[in-house]
Chain A
Amino acid sequence: MAAENLTAGEYIKHHLGHWTVGEGFWAIHVDTMLFSLLLGGLFLFLFIRAASKVTVGVPGGLQNFTEILVEFVDKQVKDSFHGRSALIAPLALTLFVWIFLMNIVKLLPYDLFPYLAHAIGVEYLRINPTSDINATFGMSLAVFFLIIFYSIKIKGAVGFSKELLLQPFGKWFIPFNFILKVVEEIAKPVSLSLRLFGNMYAGGLIFTLIALLPWWIQWSLGLPWSLFKLLIITLQAFIFMVLTIVYLSMAHEDH
């Protein structure tokens, strides 16, 4: 417990607040941006280091690690994506590693970073970017735009419009088809982002509740939950990646 004088409700609320600059829609969650950039930077640092020193001969530890990840992602892409694209596999790798990193900071000691932030005068701090809907929705919207972009690129504007208007029930149900299709397309980014956000947000909430227990018993719930969370974290990153690949491959398929 960071502040003994807070009530439970205030404590939870404190943990759900963001380090915000600005007002209303023009506000920016500095903590989300900061940590997502930091972790993105870490991802790029590691992988560019590995990529610049890459060798055909016996690989070193870092190269081995990155190659396992690259091969894993490559296999997923090859399994579900049948077109040829220079973008999809790197996109999937970025998504997987970045989301994994953004998720895993959740397992760091829960009160440590807000406490440190408090020391430098920042009142609210959430270090887990994926429990901010802006972060998850940002990624899924980017994926959504890619879906639209590829749909139009592959099928042409006319083909894509035809698909929106004429499927699944033929030309006598055009308005109905259109509504159905639009809902289907919009459901993709919404479900992508909400799934990740919901998992991370709820997980964080449980950590907050565990932190409200007396200090000597916290480990008994904290440890199992952290281990379980480790599973969820990997799984959510994997699901986000695989669904992105699947959606993009659907965008590439001509009916």
Chain B
Amino acid sequence: MNINLTLLGQMITFGLLVWVTMKYVWPPIIKAMQERQKKIADGLAAAERGKHEQELAEERAKKLLQEAKQQANDIIVLAQKRANEIVDASKDTAHQEGERIKASARAEVEQELNRAREHLRQQVGDIAVRGAERILKKEVDAKAHAKVIDDLITQI
């Protein structure tokens, strides 16, 4: 355990080892490690970003779906309304048509009635005049008593 030249030899060896390590060992390894660290960090960030984007897309899809549903609903409601309107309108038209037909029928009946009444009146007038002619045969002058007969007719 005496100190001798080995000391110097060891110092030189040590110096060389440190120099080589500093030059050829440390930098590439530490560089690769840092690069890998960065790569992993980038990857994690990308994954995070992807996840976020997916969430956004999902939300968007959900919104779109909801909108589509809403639209479909609106369309159905509108269609129903329209159908109701059409049904109502045709009902109205039918009703009006019915009324019209009824009115014209009624007018015709009225006309027919009037005509029948007129006819009847005339016949009654005739019958009355003829009856009166038969009863009164001689003394009754048809022309002189026409006024009386007309009064009679109007009273019928």
A contact residues vs B (CB 8 Å cutoff) = 16, 22, 24-29, 32-33, 36-37, 40, 43-44, 47-48, 50-52, 54-57, 59, 63, 66-67, 70-71, 74, 86-87, 89-91, 93-94, 98, 129, 132-135, 137-139, 141-142, 201
Contact = CB atoms under 8 A, between A and B. Distances in A.
A67 B29 CA distance: 7
Interface residues of B, number: 32
23 contacts: A22-B4, A28-B4, A28-B6, A28-B9, A36-B10, A44-B25, A48-B25, A50-B29, A52-B28, A54-B32, A56-B35, A70-B30, A87-B18, A89-B26, A91-B18, A91-B22, A94-B18, A133-B1, A134-B3, A135-B6, A137-B7, A138-B13, A141-B7
A51 B29 contact: yes
B137 to A, nearest CB: 147
A132 B1 contact: yes
B25 A138 contact: no
Interface string B13-51: 111111011101110111111011001000000000000
A254 to B, nearest CB: 24
A54 B10 contact: no
A135 B12 CA distance: 11
A20 to B, nearest CB: 8
Given A55-B32, A71-B33, A26 B5 contact: yes
Nearest to B33: A67
A167 B44 CA distance: 52
A74 B30 contact: yes
Contacts of B16: 40
A139 B15 CA distance: 9
A90 B13 contact: no
Nearest to A18: B6
Nearest to A98: B17
A135 B24 CA distance: 24
B25 A90 contact: yes
Given A27-B4, A74-B30, A94 B21 contact: yes
B5 A93 contact: no
Contacts of A47: 21, 25, 29
Contacts of A91: 18, 21-22
Given A54-B31, A70-B33, A90-B26, 15 more contacts: A25-B3, A33-B13, A40-B16, A44-B20, A44-B21, A51-B29, A59-B36, A66-B29, A91-B18, A94-B18, A134-B3, A137-B7, A138-B8, A138-B9, A142-B11
Task: Choose among B2, B10, B28 the residue with the greatest number of A CB atoms under 10 Å from its CB.
Answer: B10
Contacts of B13: 33, 36-37, 40, 138
Contacts of B14: 94, 98, 138-139, 142
Contact of B17 (A43, A54, A66, A133): A43
B102 to A, nearest CB: 96
Contacts of A59: 36
Contacts of A43: 17
Contact of A25 (B5, B11, B32): B5
- 4 cross-chain pairs, A with B, having the tightest CB-CB distances, nearest first: A138-B10, A134-B6, A90-B22, A90-B26
Contacts of A24: 4
Nearest to A136: B10
A142 B15 contact: yes
B22 A87 contact: yes
A13 B36 CA distance: 53
A141 B24 CA distance: 24
Contacts of B18: 87, 90-91, 94, 142
